[in-house]
Chains A and B, each alone.
Chain A
Amino acid sequence: MTVASHDIARRREVALVDLLDRLLAGGVVIGGDITLSIADVDLVYVSLRALITSVEGIR
């Protein structure tokens, strides 16, 4: 690891919205020969709704 990557270690607490923006943008995947599948759930919608509710709750 370089010195620079230490110096530029996360500048601030990661905002949940930025994290979910990355983790949910592609939807949810359950792969392989698995019996579970929630691919048909519009998780982005579900999550954003939950997120909006929580943010409004904080205000």
Chain B
Amino acid sequence: MAELLWTYGVVPAGLGAPAIAGIEDTPVTAVCDGELCALAGSVPAARFSRAELERALEDMDTLAALARAHDRVLEAALEAGDVVPFPLCTIFESAEAIEAMLAARHDALSAALARVHGMSEWGVKAFVRPRETVPAGRPSSGAEYLARRQADRDRATVDAEQVEFAAARAHAELAEHARAAVMSRLQDKRLSRRDAEMVLNGAYLVPREDAAAFAARVDALDERISELALELTGPWPPYRFVAEAHP
């Protein structure tokens, strides 16, 4: 049966492939060219063809299983050392095609590996913290009702500005204590599964030995910035800091 090679990412030669099952529970192997090794695993061509993948990715369970397996291998690679993660569904026809990619992308991959050396990625999401509302009595007149409505609107505008400023301040402070930082697109409420509005979806590249200090800083910011509730995720493989090295 024809096979394709699902590629997880690139590690420095010498680290080898993590002893962990990847996509479809197949073993992960290292395909190397010089000092760069791609972590790859065989997948059946019949089910990983373009048409089959397109259909498979529409199915949430399949997409989730692929994403989890991809992440599991990269997490194991991160535990062993440094890794440049590739996006989901980076698939090659043969080991030779991977070697050619490693040679062609050598400089970008080496630069990315150097940049993420000793680092992991942390995610920080900020949500608007709901303010306690003071219950108001029944308005005594139509005019008072309208005045209250206007005051609510004015307050909402000020709040939005305050919250935006608070999110920018949180990001700036976290970025100051990271080697690199990016702000990603905010997650839709339907995806974040939170009632509160997301106002920051940041990622921070942090030296592994500074992880505890970074987590403490997030907790402190969460305490200090009353407008926001912060949520820390990680450590992640440096997904958001290697895009320019992708094949």
Asked if B234 is at the interface (CB within 8 A of a chain A CB), the reply is yes
Give A13 to B99 CA distance when docked, in angstroms: 35
Q: Which residues of A contact B193 (CB under 8 A)?
A: 17, 55
Whether B64 lies near A16 (C-beta < 8 A) is: yes
- Contact string, A16-38, partner B, CB cutoff 8 A, digits 1/0? 11111111111111111111111
Interface size class of A (residues with CB under 8 A): 35 or more
Could you say which interface size class chain B belongs to?
A: 35 or more
Question: With an 8 A cutoff between CB atoms, is B68 at the interface?
Answer: yes
- Which residues of chain A come closer than 8 Å to B4, judged between CB atoms? 36
B residues near A, CB below 8 A?
4, 48-50, 53-54, 57-60, 63-64, 67-68, 70-71, 75, 79, 86-93, 97-98, 100-101, 120, 123, 184-185, 187-188, 190-193, 201, 203, 208-212, 215, 232-236, 239-240, 243, 246-247
List residues of chain A with CB under 8 Å of any chain B CB.
1-2, 4-5, 7-12, 14-38, 41, 43, 46-48, 50-56
Q: A30-B89, A50-B63 are in contact. List 18 more A-B contacts (CB 8 A).
A: A1-B79, A1-B208, A2-B209, A5-B79, A10-B235, A14-B233, A18-B233, A22-B240, A23-B88, A23-B239, A25-B240, A28-B88, A29-B86, A30-B90, A36-B4, A36-B50, A48-B191, A50-B60
User: Can you list 15 residue pairs at the A/B interface with Cβ under 8 Å?
Assistant: A1-B208, A4-B211, A5-B208, A17-B192, A19-B68, A20-B63, A22-B236, A25-B184, A32-B92, A36-B4, A36-B48, A36-B91, A37-B50, A52-B191, A53-B60
